[in-house]
Amino acid sequence: MTDPVERYTARLRRVLAHIDRHPDAPLDLDRLSAIAAFSPCHFHRQFGATVGLSLHRYVQLSRMERAAHALAFRGDVRVTDAAIDAGYDSPDAFARAFRRRFGQSPSGFRAAPDWRGWAARLRPFHQARSQIMTIAFTLDDVTIRTVDPVAVAMMRHIGDPATIGDTIRRFIAWRQATGTTPPASATYTVFHDDPQVTPPEAYRMDLCAATGRAIGADEPVVAGTIPGGRCAVLRVVGDTHDLEPAARFLYGTWLPQSGEQLRDFPLYCQRVRFFPDVPAQEAIVDLFLPII
C-alpha cells in the first residue's frame, strides 16, 4: 500500500510540475488546487506548510531562476524577452522585481552575474523543491553499461563551485563559436572532487563537449578523453540542480551492495536534456560511476 505521506506529496508534486511546464501562465488558484485535489480555500496554507514557501513566492522564484539562466547563458536574450517569459507585463516591472530578488538589474546580471548572491537568494527555492520533487533511488535504478571512449574538448573549472557559472558562460561561448552545441555534440561533466570535503579554492570540475575536431593552441579548451569501460549508470530525471543525493546513493548504498570495485577515473555525467531548454522536471542527467 502506498504511504499516505507519499500520496499527499505526490499531489503537490503535480502542482510543482505544472508550474515548471507553464512558467509564464497566470497564477490560477482554482486550477492549481484542482491539480492537487485540494480545496481552494485551504490550498495556500497546505502548500506553504508542506513546501515551506508561500505559493506566490515559490512561483516568483521559479520564474526568476528561469530568467536568470536565460540572461546569463543565452547571449541573444533581451531583457524584454526574459520579462515576458517570466510572466511580467512590462520590462520595468520585471527589472524592479529582479533587482529586489538578486540585488542586480537584469542587464547588470547578464553582464557580470553575482553567482554567490544568486545562489543564496535561490537557496530557499531549491530547498523547497528538494522536499517535494526529489524521488528516492533504488538499487534497480542502477544499470551496468560498457561504454566506448569519447573524445572531448575540455574546459576545467578550478575554484569555488558557486562560481561555476562564469566557466559555463565561457564554455557556452566557445561551443557556439565552434558549432559544438547540443544536440550535435554531447555534453559531459567530470567531477574530480567532492565539494563536501574539498576546500572551495581547490575544487575541480571539467566541462566537456564530445568532438573529434582538432583543438587549436589558442583555444580556451584542451583535448581530452572520457575512457571507455564498465560503468554503473544512474539516470536522474527532474531537478538536476544538485546531483549530490544521486552521487551519495551510488557511493554509499549501491556500491557496497554491488560487490563491484571502482575504476581509476572520477564520477562523471552526461547531460541529456537541459533546464531551461526543457521544464525543470523534464531535465535528464545520466550519472556514470566507472567500475572495473
pTM over 0.85: yes
As a whole number of angstroms, the distance between CA 278 and CA 281 comes to 8
Query: Alpha-carbon dihedral of residues 219, 221, 225, 226, nearest 10 degrees?
Result: -150
Query: Alpha-carbon dihedral of residues 35, 39, 44, 49, nearest 10 degrees?
Result: -90
Residue with cell 531537478: 239
Q: What is the model's pLDDT at position 130? A: 80
Query: What are the residues facing 226 on neighbouring strands?
Result: 150
Identify whether the C-beta of residue 258 lies closer than 8 Å to the C-beta of residue 275. no
Q: Are strands 150-158 and 222-226 parallel, antiparallel or unpaired?
A: antiparallel
Identify whether the C-beta of residue 122 lies closer than 8 Å to the C-beta of residue 165. no
Query: Alpha-carbon dihedral of residues 256, 258, 261, 263, nearest 10 degrees?
Result: -110
Q: What is the model's pLDDT at position 2? A: 60
As a whole number of angstroms, the distance between CA 262 and CA 231 comes to 9
Q: What is the model's pLDDT at position 105? A: 94
As a whole number of angstroms, the distance between CA 126 and CA 119 comes to 9
3 state SS of 186 = coil
Structural domains in the chain, sorted by start: 4-132 (1.10.10.60), 139-290 (3.20.80.10)
As a whole number of angstroms, the distance between CA 13 and CA 19 comes to 10
3 state SS of 38 = coil
Q: What is the model's pLDDT at position 277? A: 81
As a whole number of angstroms, the distance between CA 245 and CA 222 comes to 30
Q: What is the model's pLDDT at position 131? A: 78
138 grid coordinates: 533504488
As a whole number of angstroms, the distance between CA 235 and CA 251 comes to 15
Per residue, what are the HEC states of 43-79?
HHHHHHHHHCCCHHHHHHHHHHHHHHHHHHHCCCCCH
10 contacts: CB under 8 Å, gap ≥ 6: none
Per-residue pLDDT of the chain (292 residues; tens, 9 = 90+): 467 777 888 888 899 988 888 877 777 888 899 999 989 888 989 888 888 899 988 988 988 998 998 899 987 788 998 888 888 888 999 999 999 989 999 999 999 999 999 989 999 898 888 878 777 899 999 999 999 999 999 999 999 998 999 999 999 999 999 999 998 999 999 999 999 899 999 999 999 999 988 999 999 999 999 999 999 999 998 878 789 889 999 999 999 999 999 999 999 999 999 887 887 778 899 999 999 9
